[in-house]
Structure 1
Amino acid sequence: MNVTLWQTLRTLALALLVSTHASASRAHELNPAVADVTVTPAQVQLVVTLTAEAMLAGIDRTQNIDTDDLPEGDAYTRYREMPAEEMLQALYDAWPELRQDFNVLAGEVPVELEISNAEVLEEMPLSLPRDTRLTLLGDLPEGDAPVTVGWKAGFGPLVLRQTGGGEDAYSDFLNPGAQSQPLPRTGEIVTEGWLPLFGRYIVVGFEHIIPKGLDHILFVLGLFFFSLRVGPLLWQITAFTLAHTITLALASLKIVFIPASIVEPLIAASIVYVAVENIFGGRLGWWRIVVVTCFGLLHGLGFAFVLGDVGLEPSRFLTGLIGFNIGVEIGQLTVIAIAFLTVGYWFGNKPWYRKAIAIPASLAIAAVAAFWVVERTLL
């Protein structure tokens, strides 16, 4: 008993240390930038909606940490507190250096971009990021070399959409530092078949769980530590999957909308609930299935904030939605497989498994999620 208590205390201490780092990924989370690109024989135009303050402060968007914990945090706060006109002037002043981080190429030739217009779309409370829309123009060299678009990894992911092509026009979710597909200068619109699109969104969905979805990972682990028996685990995962598929579709199509400020604390609370029920030895009855289903509806709304940013045309939305959801499921099953191979296979049949592993792990999950609840509502 003393050994178990010591293990529990150690686990809780570790969880609190992790929570102070991991939970910050939600505190000041910045949405992916979205760029609409138009390519003509002589010019490329990018209309980019982004968080200019993070760019000006030099924040590395590939790190899931709170801006307050960074050396650049003070600079971000300073830019964020500036009136819109003053911040935009700072952006113009910094542009000769910032444009070097935009990787727009005509073949192998870099294209230099200039700001033709900049505007803050809407003033927000200081605790929230505000969006800036930049219209960037670049003259293309002679020839017909196609154009590729990207930017440095530190600016984070980029949702890129080709304009003027209707429902089949190319759109992509570019991971940090990635380049787009080649875009012709002949007026031809890049089209993408359903199979490449389907495969691409499987990857996007998987990455939203591993490595980006720490809260969803903890929820799935909460289901895993409830029971190692296949039946209870299968019932819970099935209920969770069906539920988040429904709200993912409805929210991504803008039929249902609940602000992230409401959804995110509720997701954290759902993690606390399943972990605490594990600790007190809840049984798999209709109530557990109902609760997991309700929490699945919440998590589907969380997934939709990512998928909705991509802006797929309606005729391609179903393909992207199905691919994204399959990627999410593969990610969840991967989490369960790793947990089983790490602890379930080796220790699941031991008489001390629940006291020494399942309960301490559930305590750790509950501690992290409880911190998130407080941090997402009060801090």
Structure 2
Amino acid sequence: MSVALQDLRNNMSSYKRATFEEEEAADNPVDGGMSPDSVEVGFRKGGIQLLGPLGRRTQMEVVLAGVLLASLLALFGCAVTLGIRYNKDPARSLCLTEACITVASKIVEALDRSADPCQDFYQYACGGWVRKNPLPDGRSRWSTFNSIWDQNQAVLKHLLENGTFNSSSDAERKTQFYYLSCLNEQHIEELGATPLIDLIAKTGGWNITGPWEKDNFMEVLKTVSGPYRAQPFFTIGVSVDPKNSNSNVIQVDQSGLFLPSRDYYLNKTANEKVLKAYLDYMVELSLLLGGDKNSTQSQMQQILDFETALANITVPQDERRDEEKIYHKITIAELQVCMGLLGGGLQSEHVHFHVQAVAWM
């Protein structure tokens, strides 16, 4: 046994430490050698070592582990710092004001906790509100916005009906006076149609109720379109030029009709009942204003026929969707010519309301 140990000692002493070049050559074997990913335990001159990249990979893992640990420590430090600042900042603390508590309670009341949010989230989020807010009579829809609107209307009604309301604003005082005047039914019944008759006389009269000035069309049009904000036949306003946002233009467009749309006038078969009710309404109103029973019916029929003619020359709504078709820029001089044609007679074949005249300011 001592002889065997001596031989082993002699063999080991015959090896020397491997040089760097030898290690590199061992890590990159030639064809037919071991692959770089393989690991082999063997003897080299100088002792036993691992062959292949395992030693290098282990060192990289150690470095990465150190970097990861440092990152975790830095992240933890940031979290602690933010937590301390958050607790010290009163603006970021839990809101316990009356408004916050009220809103939070409404949100909780709107929930339906019996519903599974994963199956029906709408029922879970809104089921409680729907159950506590049934659709009111006369409403086709109801939402939180409708509820808020009704609450605001109730507040305004209370303010306008408050006899002790004393505001420094002239507009608010006029608003309250106007509102209360509409509630004075006794005074309204006493006045009867007198205010409306006086207004008709001021604007040139009406042949239904008495003498009238038939040649002052432009003056009547100017009066009703100005102080009384009515826009018969056409509308006039100032807006941005659709093709040049840097300039404003006077925009002239067709006005509306008394009935909701032109189809009511043109499709007489389908709307026969509507047209008859409309004619009866005009006759009744004219009689209340002092019209003659024998002539009022025929004159109201003429008015209805005139409205039907206006409906024929207005552009249908579906044809007004293309902005290019209703955009026609003209000069002030050309606009004055159009106004002259209107003053000469609305039944002229040159008057068409199917164009939107846009003139420079």
> Shorter chain as normaliser: what TM range?
under 0.3
For CA contacts below 8 A with separation 6 or more, give which structure has more relative contact order: 1
TM-score, length-normalised on structure 1? 0.23
Structure number, greater radius of gyration: 2
TM-score, length-normalised on structure 2? 0.24
